[in-house]
Homo-oligomer: A and B are copies of this chain.
Amino acid sequence: MVDRRNAGFPVGGGARTASRGGTRTSGRSGGRPTLEEVAARAGVGRGTVSRVINGSPRVSEATRAAVEAAVAELGYVPNRAARSLAANRTDAIALVVPEPEARFFAEPYFSDIVRGVGAALADTDMQLLLTFAGSDRERRRLADYLAAGRVDGVLLVSVHADDPLPDLLEQLGIPAVISGRRSAADPLAAVDSDNTGGARAAVAHLLARGRRTIATITGRLDVYGAQCRLDGYRDALAESGAVVDERLVAPADFTEEGGSRAMRALLDRCPSLDAVFAASDVMAAGARQVLREAGRRIPDDVALVGFDDSAVARHMDPALTSVRQPIEEMGRRMAGLLLQEIADRSGPERPRIILPTELVVRDSS
């Protein structure tokens, strides 16, 4: 339903901008060409041009060619505002980041998502709006914004368990796709990576390397993904026949500082641990620092595995073994799902996509 692209039109040459300060009453022919002008040029009606532009099949080949020629000659580009107004849609979707701006820029996760989404939208006429909803004030604005119908759909990432946004979206009937669900039962379409499987693979790897006392540093457990990673850790241990010692589980919050704190607690409670699975690379970095200070060598004394396979992992010394999530792909899939849902807002069918993760083994384990 989104439209097709036309070839670029020369900028330096003919393109004159809409009369800087000219009166609206001033004659035609000044500004950008309109549908009507294309129609006249092609010798057809307005409706037909519209059909061609929007890729309707009910146009004869000859007519289509004539229109396309006229479009190219005139350098016609549809007027977004007019289209939105007439069609009652905005051709824009929002990527909602329920975090303060600072974190958005700090975490590579978001930039990968943006890249993926951007790729999926690249040859679409859809605009991507980035909205931060870190503070209460921002969230209130966002709610108004959504209610005002300023976007055709919403992409939601990194949602906390107590976040009412998904419900609001559902209630407003705005198409939405979520990544990082609050639970397995979220009402929205979702794209996730296989957190459980990734964590299981990481821990299995540690076991295979002969580690016996494997601790874990978890993310905020009100984040579904963090919970899954913890489940994966438990699963792997259970599968190996080991009993999980709860003292080996240290909750943290996905920050480096939190990782350090958790590591200190772990070292305190179980000085004999010989491996740590951190639920994020950033937390692993915090843990590494503490291990260093405690004189533990990595990986000789303690093996360390992270999650995310971010730049942090590659640049750590020693390079960090980590679970890679196909984040860019997730962004792409989210956008695809959303586009589809916008085009056809039919049933209450809520697709769930789970993308596989991959363990990237490096020097730290």
Contact surface of A with B, Cβ cutoff 8 Å: 1, 3-18, 20-21, 24, 31-32, 77, 79-85, 88, 90, 92, 94, 101-102, 105, 108, 110-111, 114-115, 118, 121-123, 125, 127-132, 140-150, 168, 171-174, 345-346
- Chain B contacts for A5, CB-based, 8 A: 1, 114, 118, 128, 130
When A111-B105, A114-B5 are in contact, do A148 and B77 touch as well, CB less than 8 Å?
yes
- Chain B contacts for A18, CB-based, 8 A: 88, 147-149, 172-174
Inter-chain pairs besides A101-B114, A101-B118, 11 sampled, C-beta below 8 Å: A6-B129, A7-B130, A8-B94, A9-B131, A9-B141, A9-B144, A11-B172, A12-B171, A17-B149, A17-B171, A80-B90
Question: What separation, in Å, do the CA atoms of A155 and B147 have in the docked complex?
Answer: 29
- Chain B contacts for A20, CB-based, 8 A: 172-173, 345
Question: What separation, in Å, do the CA atoms of A168 and B115 have in the docked complex?
Answer: 27
**Does B88 lie within 8 Å of A85, measured CB to CB?**
no
Question: What separation, in Å, do the CA atoms of A240 and B18 have in the docked complex?
Answer: 53
When A101-B118, A141-B10, A147-B15 are in contact, do A1 and B125 touch as well, CB less than 8 Å?
yes
- Chain B contacts for A143, CB-based, 8 A: 8, 11, 15
Question: What separation, in Å, do the CA atoms of A140 and B15 have in the docked complex?
Answer: 9
- Chain B contacts for A16, CB-based, 8 A: 147-148
Q: Can you report 8 A-B residue pairs in the complex whose CB atoms are below 8 A from each other?
A: A4-B127, A8-B144, A15-B148, A15-B172, A17-B149, A17-B172, A18-B88, A101-B111
Looking at A6, A24, A80, A147, which has the most chain B CB atoms within 10 Å of its CB? A147
- Chain B contacts for A21, CB-based, 8 A: 173, 345-346
**Does B149 lie within 8 Å of A11, measured CB to CB?**
no
**Does A81 lie within 8 Å of B90, measured CB to CB?**
yes
Q: In the complex, what's the smallest C-beta–C-beta distance from A228 to chain B, in angstroms?
A: 26
Least CB separation from A19: chain B residue: B173
**Does B111 lie within 8 Å of A144, measured CB to CB?**
no
